[in-house]
């Protein structure tokens, strides 16, 4: 249950809400089947680290006064949530785990800083130096951002070391009520799927497990009046449908000595299947590693899978991690995109028919390639 003062105010999670692993894990037949049974028939784990939008009420006092519901939702991947939940309902071959907290609590697709207070202090220093509303580079210190990706104020700037300490302490404590549950559940599911892949492998019968990190990004940013109408620089724009990333180049091949998280030929097959599933004519509508290579979740999973490389090769197990970054306008549909292109402070309701169609296309994307994810061809 979430609430807020009105349609313009940030949407809040009631104070004291603690999420359980069961609440944030979704799969077909959840009311009748156990998680063990769901995992036994599945071979894809879908993670949604930025799907949560509602902000824990305990953090409301730290929000900048300019922060509206429009800015709140724009700063999340909230359009992914209804799609992955519907996909989980219709596809017995996947399990979804969804972060119930927004990335403002702390971004689980960034490596957790060893010293969160020092990292956040540096982020605030950079924002101050850039000046209010101005572009600022937060690379390396964006686990918690003081501003949105449109550089709108997100958090009140602490005026003292004591205020910064209070902010960090409150954020860290609240994170354990949702974000921490997500991270622990995600990692436990990854381990269980990985173990299952080895248990099912047999001579001449290879098995595959894929972790898919599900995201969206809008090709437009927000003006001060709330209109999401400013086109990003060309090099920062998503393809018409989705970028599928494995930390490689535009063909999915390794960049220098850097490892990829999904074997290049497998990534290209998945991209081809996505083009068929989403019924697009242009090959560029589904683009490997453009503009993003994929972030922490697939990096960490890829590192974990490489440690098992020799054992996996011997057993005939193919372990892959891939990030899907959908163009948000594509997920929203034309009508909802038009609404958000106009000034405002509220957000839209998802188009249920479009959500259903997108979920079926996601299912078809993996159905169309599943038997080809187990054995790379020459």
Tens digit of each residue's pLDDT (9 = 90 or more) over 329-338:
999 999 999 9
pLDDT > 80? residue 256: yes
Cα Rg of the chain (Å, integer): 20
Cα dist from 276 to 128, 280, 281, whole Å: 48, 7, 8
Return the half-sphere exposure (C-beta side, CA atoms, 13 A cut-off) of residue 343: 2
The answer on pLDDT for 83 being more than 70 is yes
Find the CATH number of the domain harbouring 37: 3.40.630.40
Categorize the per-residue pLDDT at 273 as very low, low, confident or very high, splitting at 50, 70 and 90.
Answer: very high
In a domain, 150, yes or no: no
Residue 26 lies in a domain: yes
pLDDT grade for 6, boundaries at 50, 70 and 90: low
From CA 363, how far away is CA 376, in angstroms rounded? 22
- Mean pLDDT for all residues in the chain: 94
Residue range(s) defining the domain that contains residue 280 = 12-109+172-372
Query: Whole-model pTM?
Result: 0.95
Position 218 in a domain:
yes
Q: Percent of the chain scored above 70 by pLDDT? A: 96
Mean pLDDT, residues 286-309 taken together: 97
375 pLDDT exceeds 60?
A: no
Task: Place 2 in a pLDDT band, splitting at 50, 70 and 90.
Answer: very low
User: What pLDDT score does 372 carry?
Assistant: 61
Establish if 285 belongs to a structural domain.
yes
Report helix, strand and coil shares of the chain as percent, to nearest 5.
40, 15, 45
pLDDT at position 281: 87
The per-residue pLDDT for 243 is: 98
Backbone angles phi, psi at 303, to 5 degrees: -60, -40
In a domain, 149, yes or no: no
Specify the 3-state DSSP secondary structure of 222. strand
Residue 59 buriedness (CB in 10 A; 0-12 / 13-18 / 19+): buried
The alpha carbon of 24 is separated from its chain's Cα centroid by a whole number of angstroms, namely 14
Residue-wise pLDDT for 311-348, tens only, equals 999 999 999 999 999 999 999 999 999 999 999 999 99
pLDDT above 50 for 118: yes
Q: Average pLDDT of 37-54? A: 97
Could you tell me if residue 146 is inside a domain? no
User: How many domains does the structure of the chain reveal?
Assistant: 1
Residues 310, 325: Cα–Cα separation, whole Å: 30
Q: Assign 205 a pLDDT band (cuts: 50, 70, 90).
A: confident
* Residue 204 predicted with pLDDT over 50: yes
pLDDT for residue 4: 38
CB atoms within 10 A of CB 345: 15
Question: Does some domain include residue 55?
Answer: yes
Residue 290 within a domain: yes
Q: What average pLDDT does this structure show over 211-218? A: 98
């Amino acid at each position: 249950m979430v609430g807020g003062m009105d349609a313009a105010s940030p949407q809040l999670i009631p104070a004291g809400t603690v999420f359980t692993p069961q609440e944030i894990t979704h799969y077909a037949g959840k009311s009748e089947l156990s998680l063990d049974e769901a995992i036994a028939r599945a071979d894809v784990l879908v993670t949604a680290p930025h799907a949560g939008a509602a902000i824990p009420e305990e953090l409301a006092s730290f929000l900048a006064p300019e922060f509206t519901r429009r800015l709140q939702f724009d700063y999340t991947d909230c359009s992914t949530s209804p799609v992955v939940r519907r996909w989980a309902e219709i596809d017995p071959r996947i399990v979804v785990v969804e972060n119930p907290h927004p990335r403002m609590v702390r971004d689980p697709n960034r490596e957790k800083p060893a010293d969160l207070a020092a990292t956040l202090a540096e982020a605030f220093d950079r924002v101050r130096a850039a000046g209010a509303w101005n572009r600022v580079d937060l690379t390396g210190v964006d686990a918690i951002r003081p501003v949105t990706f449109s550089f709108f104020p997100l958090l009140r700037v602490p005026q003292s070391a004591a205020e910064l300490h209070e902010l960090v302490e409150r954020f860290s404590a609240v994170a354990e009520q949702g974000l921490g549950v997500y991270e622990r559940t995600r990692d436990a599911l990854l381990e269980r799927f990985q173990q299952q892949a080895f248990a099912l492998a047999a001579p001449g019968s290879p098995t595959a497990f894929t972790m898919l990190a599900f995201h969206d990004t809008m090709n437009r940013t927000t003006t001060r009046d709330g209109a999401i109408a400013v086109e990003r620089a060309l090099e920062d724009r998503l393809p018409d449908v989705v970028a599928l990333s494995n930390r490689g180049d535009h063909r999915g091949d390794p960049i220098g000595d850097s490892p990829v998280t999904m074997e290049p030929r497998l990534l290209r097959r998945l991209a081809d299947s996505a083009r068929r599933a989403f019924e697009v004519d242009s090959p560029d509508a589904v683009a490997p590693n453009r503009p993003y290579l994929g972030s922490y979740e697939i990096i960490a999973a890829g590192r974990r899978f490489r440690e098992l490389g020799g054992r996996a090769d011997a057993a005939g197990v193919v372990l892959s991690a891939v990030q899907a970054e959908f163009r948000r306008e594509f997920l929203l549909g034309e009508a909802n995109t038009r609404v958000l292109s106009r000034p405002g402070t509220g957000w839209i309701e998802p188009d249920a028919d479009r959500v259903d169609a997108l979920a079926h296309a996601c299912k078809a994307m993996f159905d169309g390639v599943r038997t080809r994810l187990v054995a790379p061809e020459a």
